[in-house]
Amino acid sequence: MIHELDYASGRLSHVERVKAVAEQQRNLKIIVMVLFGGIVLLLGIPMMVIPLLGVGIYSFVVLYRLLVAMETKPIWIMASLLGVLVPLVQVLVFITINYKACEILRAAGLKIAFTGVHEDDLERFAQEQC
């Protein structure tokens, strides 16, 4: 599983890398949907700020893991994490990183759905690579 991988070492096999990118991209897409939905709810329910802060903080972790799995240079990781703090730049960062993640997954021959790669496609990919 992805949580067992050592992100700090940066040493992932091709299969581990593709699986990590797929899982973290799915997480990032879900976070973006929750954030945008939460912003709409925030207009009517001011107390939504507290859960949205938690989701925002978790997005940093997911974004970092996705960038490491994509083998991004450390300077771009820092720039992306700082860019997420700026409201309009945040959208551009998410779109750019999602696009690059899609390129990696398509190059591996995986189909990408609305919320990311399906689990059975990932399992099939891992079996084909072994």
In a domain? residue 122:
yes
Segment 21-58, tens digit of pLDDT: 999 999 999 888 888 887 777 777 777 777 778 888 88
User: Measured between alpha carbons, how far is 123 from 80 in angstroms, rounded to an integer?
Assistant: 30
Q: Looking at the domain assignment, is residue 2 inside a domain?
A: no
| CB-CB contact of 96 with 66 (8 Å) | no
Residue 116 pairs in a beta bridge with 113
Residue 101, in any domain of the structure? yes
Classify 70 as helix, strand or coil: coil
Tokens of 67: 């960038």
In this predicted structure, what is the pLDDT of residue 2?
45
Residue range of the domain that includes 52: 12-129
Q: What Rg, from alpha-carbon coordinates, does the chain have?
A: 15
Split into its structural domains, the chain has a count of 1
**What are the tens digits of pLDDT across the range 81-102?**
999 888 788 889 999 999 999 9
Indicate whether 110 belongs to any domain: yes
Q: Using 50, 70 and 90 to split pLDDT, how confident is the model at 12? A: low
Q: What local confidence, expressed as pLDDT, does residue 3 receive?
A: 44
Q: Is 106 contained in some domain?
A: yes
**Within a domain: residue 3?**
no
